Amino acid sequence: MIPWLAAAFLFWPATAILSGSIFLIILVGFFLVAGGIVLFALLLYGIYAALRDSGLLDFIIRIVNDITDKVIESLRVNIRQSFKVQVEDKSGGPRIYACSPHGMYGISWAIHLSTGLTDWPKDVPKPKLAVHSVFFKIPFVREFMLSRNCIPATEATIVSEIEKGNSVALIIGGIEELYQTKTGKINLVIDKRKGYIRLAKKTNVPIQPLLTVGENDLFPFTDNALWKNFETFLYDWFHIALPLPTLSSLKRWMSIVYSPLEKPCTTYFLKSVQTENKSEEDIRKSHKDSLKEFSKRTGHTIMFIG
């Protein structure tokens, strides 16, 4: 028999007391740590609730937005020259804006729809930008997102906004299209997407395709093998994305403080798609035809992935 195992067997009372003490210490430590985290979370939520109910949170958000707007106001000229809008079809009335491509971070969509820094057509009301509903479950982040013209990407919220006469913008490619981001290419995931068509038919509004040329060139993926494996793990197991761009692209992005981007992004309003009395497949085909016609006319190659 192994000596230490024999000793433990012969002196089992001491072994039991020692083992029990260690287990108890670990258990107490766990509950102390867990309890501390819970108490901190409750305290944080209590502060959040008090600020929210008193109206102070809205006041703080307004101050943050004012400071943010003043900081980026100095960048207005550079941002306007870096993110342009070209309108080819701007029919009136509420509609669903189908935005493509997703890009790594959807920078052009955030700048066009959540700020007043670009030359968005004055006679076209800005749509609400639908983003993942998880952002609206995080204290403080929720209020900031709402103040920036964003709404949760849930069917009930989108339908409600359209019934109020507002348009809604959806980045339809989602995470799958995010991972198709490649410099110099426009790879779109449309065939698998049914939600935006179902919502358009349910609310009886047209679909307005928007396409940004240059979005995929802003932030290419890093070549770090370890991080890429981690990203693949997150996507395969949890279907979430945590993309990491190259350092050179971050440096290039920061240059917008001093001058416009060398390669500007241009967002195009393409031919709108009517949905009334049409099947889902007919609507999808019309959407893709609008993109194909743009590709043929401008020379920008568009690939449909899945």
The 10s digit of each residue's pLDDT in 84-103 is 998 876 677 899 999 999 99
Average pLDDT over residues 198-225: 92
Tokens at 148, concatenated: 């920036």
Question: Do 183 and 216 contact (CB within 8 A), yes or no?
Answer: yes
Q: What is the pLDDT of residue 266?
A: 95
pLDDT above 70 covers a percentage of the chain that reads 88
Residue 141 has pLDDT above 70, yes or no: yes
As a whole number of angstroms, the longest Cα–Cα distance in the chain is: 89
d(CA 221, CA 214): 15
d(CA 95, CA 91): 9
Question: Do 127 and 167 contact (CB within 8 A), yes or no?
Answer: yes
Tokens at 216, concatenated: 């995929």
Tens digits of per-residue pLDDT, 251-303? 888 888 888 998 899 999 999 999 988 999 999 999 999 999 999 999 889 99
* 231 vs 169, more confident: 169
Residue 65 has pLDDT above 80, yes or no: no
Nearest to 195 by CA among 166, 158, 240, 161: 158
Residue 154 has pLDDT above 80, yes or no: yes
Token look-up 């060139």 returns: 217
Residue 11 has pLDDT above 70, yes or no: no
d(CA 113, CA 109): 6
* 125 vs 240, more confident: 125
Q: How many helices (H) and strands (E) does the chain have?
A: 13, 9
Contacts of 228 (CB under 8 A, 6+ apart): 221, 222
Q: What is the pLDDT of residue 203?
A: 93
Between helix 3-10 and helix 12-54 the angle, nearest 10°, is 90
| Most trustworthy range by pLDDT among 52-56, 164-168, 179-183 | 164-168
Average pLDDT over residues 25-34: 75
Question: Do 188 and 300 contact (CB within 8 A), yes or no?
Answer: no
Are β-strands 207-213 and 265-269 bridged in parallel, bridged antiparallel, or unpaired? antiparallel
Total-model pTM:
0.79
Q: What is the pLDDT of residue 10?
A: 45
d(CA 268, CA 216): 15
Domain chopping of the chain, boundaries: 3-54, 76-304
Residue 199 has pLDDT above 70, yes or no: yes
d(CA 86, CA 268): 5
C-alpha angle 210/215/175, rounded to 5°?
80
Sign of the C-alpha dihedral computed for residues 177, 179, 184 and 187 taken in this order: negative
C-alpha angle 205/208/212, rounded to 5°?
155
Band of residue 8 on the pLDDT scale cut at 50, 70, 90 = very low
* 113 vs 24, more confident: 113
